[in-house]
Structure formats: C-alpha cells, structure tokens
C-alpha cells in the first residue's frame, strides 16, 4: 500500500499545530545561546512520527486532550535530546538535511541542549502532575540507554547475533515507540489493561520501524542514493545477519571480515550490499518486518472497532513502505 503521510496527518492538522506551538513555548529560553539553539532545532522538523503515534493512540479511546498534548511533548523532548546526544557520539555531519548542531557550535553546546530538553520534559510532567506519564517514559529512557551501551559493546567485538540484534532494537527504538502508544492511551483511558496492550502494539510497530531503517541502508532506491552509513560504521543489522545465515560458511566468514574493516572502499561497500541481496538478506528481513507490522495492525483491530483505528493502521503501512 502506498500510504502518504499527508493523508494521515491532515485530519490532525489542528492538533499538530497546537502541539508545535506548545513544544516551541516549552523550550523557549531567555538565555540567548539556548534560544538560538532551540530556534535552529525547531527548523529541523522531521516527520513527527512519535507525536502522531501518541495522538492516534489516544483517539482510539477518546478525544485528544491536554494530557495527550503533554504526553506528545514529553516524548518529543526525550527523542530530540537523544538525537542530539547521538549526533555527538556518532560525529554526525547532518540531521534531517541540515548541519548538525554540534558541527555548527560544538559538542558541549549540543550535549547541554540535550540535557536542557530532558529537564524540560521532567518539569512538564511535574507541573501537570503527570506521574504516570513520567513513570512510563522513565522506563523507556532506561531501556534506551541500556540498548545504546549494549550496541556499543557488540560493535566493538563484532559478535552480533540475531537474538542480540532484536534485543538491541527493542531497547533502542521499540521501547520509545511502545511508550508513545501507551502514553496516548493513558491520556484518554484509565484502563490499565488497555495501557499494557497498547504498549505491545507500540513494541511491534517499533520493531518494524527499526528493521525498515536498517533495510534502507541496503536499498537501491532511485530517490536519493543510500548513504550506507551502517556498513561504513561496521553495524551488523538484520539484512546482513540473515544473508550470513543463508550463505555458505566460507562466504559468511569472508564478508564478516570485510564488514569489520574500519576503512572500506566504495567497492567493499557495494560488495557487501550485493552479498546481502544475493543471499536473501533483504527478502528475509522484509518478511520479519511485515510480520511485526501485521501483528500491530491485528492488535489494533482487536482493541477498537472505531473508525479512528484506520489512521493508526495506515501509519503502520507508511512506516514499512517509506523510502527514506
């Protein structure tokens, strides 16, 4: 299905405008440098998938309200802070088509801005007495940190397995997306069973989301040349893992060694891409991604008979069919 994001967001135009305004007011500061940094940050607007997940999850059980707005803002603050810190750790040159903040200013400014955003998220929760939202999101922060450290150790040793891969993406990515869906439900229903089941829905969406991200690094898209960052940075993800499982033992050893090279030529990189494609790494990974997406969609249908569920189901289609 070729789902356009604009078709999903259009009915939420009012809520998204209110969210952007609320987010902007939240991060405003009378410190000149902070104000300069936050204004630049706002220009780096992405697809807003996480606030969308909060609002679409909330709508399954009631109208979007102030609690939904607080939940979406807290999550966007947390997500943006982690991106700032990630860019410093990875020495990334660009973010969402713009030069990374730490490249324009410096690492210290980017890290402190991330810390500022995290503190704002805590304050919003406390000012609105949203202890449940704070508890749910704090668990996500813990998992995300554990996932980053686990990946750091695994990348250094070069011993990624399929089970370890799932554990890392569950902690790094799926935990926050699960939190989006759970917090959306928390904002419109007090039913704790629904909260738990929406967390499960978000977990499945998050797993599909990250597998899609990892597949994009191996794509042959005509819309912009893939950067192959995972390959350059020696990150072994599901497409490579599945290809190595399908290949002969000798070929798997050769390409694992090639993947471990710190400095790869363009030929090395394309050889790895072809190895993955020739050994069903793409095909097998897509099957697993679609199984997670289908599970999330089936669970949504079992949770709600409202027409509001169609937008969340369509968003999942968008996630697994996007080209960037």
Confidence class for position 304, pLDDT limits 50, 70, 90? confident
Contacts of 130 (CB under 8 A, 6+ apart): 67, 70, 71, 74, 124
Question: Going by C-beta distance under 8 Å and a sequence separation of 6 or more, which residues neighbour residue 284?
Answer: 242, 246
Residue 229 near residue 217, CB atoms below 8 Å: yes
> For residues 319 and 324, what is the distance between their CA atoms, to the nearest angstrom?
10
Structural domains counted in the chain: 1
> Taking the mean position of all CA atoms in its chain, how far away is CA 157?
25
Question: Once rounded to an integer, what is the mean pLDDT over residues 45-50?
Answer: 86
The total of other beta-carbon atoms located within 10 Å of residue 126's CB is 11
Integer-rounded Cα radius of gyration of the chain: 20
Contact present, 147 and 175 (Cβ < 8 Å): yes
- Residues 224 and 151: their CA atoms lie apart, in Å, by 28
The pLDDT mean for the chain works out to 91
Given a cut of 50, whether residue 1 has pLDDT beyond it is no
CB atoms within 10 A of CB 125: 21
Distance from C-alpha of 144 to C-alpha of 276, rounded to nearest angstrom? 28
Task: Determine the 3-state secondary structure of 295 from DSSP.
Answer: helix
Q: Which domain CATH number covers 234?
A: 1.10.600.10
Q: Locate all alpha helices (DSSP H) within the chain, ordered by sequence.
A: 5-9, 13-27, 32-43, 49-59, 66-90, 101-104, 107-127, 131-157, 162-169, 175-188, 192-216, 229-232, 238-246, 249-260, 266-278, 281-303, 309-321
Cα–Cα dist 313/298, whole Å: 9
- Condensed to tens digits (0 to 9), the pLDDT of residues 74-84 reads 999 999 999 88
Specify the pLDDT at position 104: 86
Residue 243 contacts residue 275 (beta carbons within 8 Å): yes
pTM greater than 0.95 (yes/no): no
Give residue 137's domain range.
5-321
Residue 55 or 38, more confident: 55
Given a cut of 90, is residue 21 above it in pLDDT?
Answer: yes
Distance CA 50, CA 27 (A): 18
Tokens of 153: 């150790």
| Count of residues in the chain | 324
* For range 171-200, the mean pLDDT: 97
Please compute the mean of the pLDDT values over residues 201-224 and round it to a whole number: 88
Q: Percent of the chain, pLDDT > 90?
A: 69
- What's the rounded mean pLDDT across residues 93-119? 85
Give the whole-angstrom CA distance, residue 139 versus residue 270: 39
Rounded to an integer, the average pLDDT of 234-245 is 95
DSSP state of 227: -
DSSP-assigned letters across all residues of 48-98: -HHHHHHHHHHHTTS---HHHHHHHHHHHHHHHHHHHHHHHHHT-SEETTE
Token digits of residue 239: 């497409």
- Residues 140-173 pLDDT 10s: 999 998 988 888 777 656 678 999 999 999 999 9
């Amino acid at each position: 299905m070729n789902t356009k994001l604009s078709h999903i967001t259009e009915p939420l135009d009012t809520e998204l405008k209110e969210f952007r305004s609320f987010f902007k007011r939240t991060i405003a500061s009378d410190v000149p440098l902070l104000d300069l940094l936050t204004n630049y940050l706002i220009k780096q607007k992405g697809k807003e998938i996480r606030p969308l997940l909060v609002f679409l999850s909330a709508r399954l059980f009631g109208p979007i309200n102030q609690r939904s707005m607080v939940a979406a803002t807290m999550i966007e603050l947390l997500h943006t802070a982690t991106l700032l810190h990630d860019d410093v750790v990875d020495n990334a040159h660009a973010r969402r088509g713009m030069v990374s903040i730490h490249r324009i200013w410096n690492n210290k400014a980017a890290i402190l801005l991330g810390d500022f955003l995290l503190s704002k998220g805590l304050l919003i929760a406390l000012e609105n007495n949203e202890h449940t939202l704070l508890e749910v999101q704090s668990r996500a922060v813990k998992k995300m940190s554990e996932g980053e450290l686990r990946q750091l150790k695994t990348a250094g040793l070069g011993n990624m397995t399929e089970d370890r891969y799932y554990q890392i993406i569950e902690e790094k990515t799926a935990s926050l997306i699960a939190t989006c869906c759970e917090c959306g439900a928390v904002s419109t229903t007090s039913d704790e069973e629904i909260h738990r089941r929406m967390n499960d829905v978000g977990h499945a969406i998050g797993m599909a989301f990250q597998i899609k991200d990892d597949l994009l690094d191996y794509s042959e898209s005509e819309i912009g040349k893939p950067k192959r960052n995972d390959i350059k940075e020696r990150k072994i993800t599901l497409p490579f893992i599945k290809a190595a499982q399908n290949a002969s033992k000798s070929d798997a050893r050769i390409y694992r060694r090639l993947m471990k090279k710190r400095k790869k030529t363009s030929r090395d990189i394309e050889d790895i891409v072809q190895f993955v494609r020739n050994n069903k790494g793409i095909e097998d990974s897509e099957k697993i991604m679609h199984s997670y997406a289908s599970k999330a969609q089936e669970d949504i249908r079992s949770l709600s008979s409202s027409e509001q569920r169609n937008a969340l189901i369509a968003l999942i289609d968008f996630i697994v069919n996007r080209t960037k």
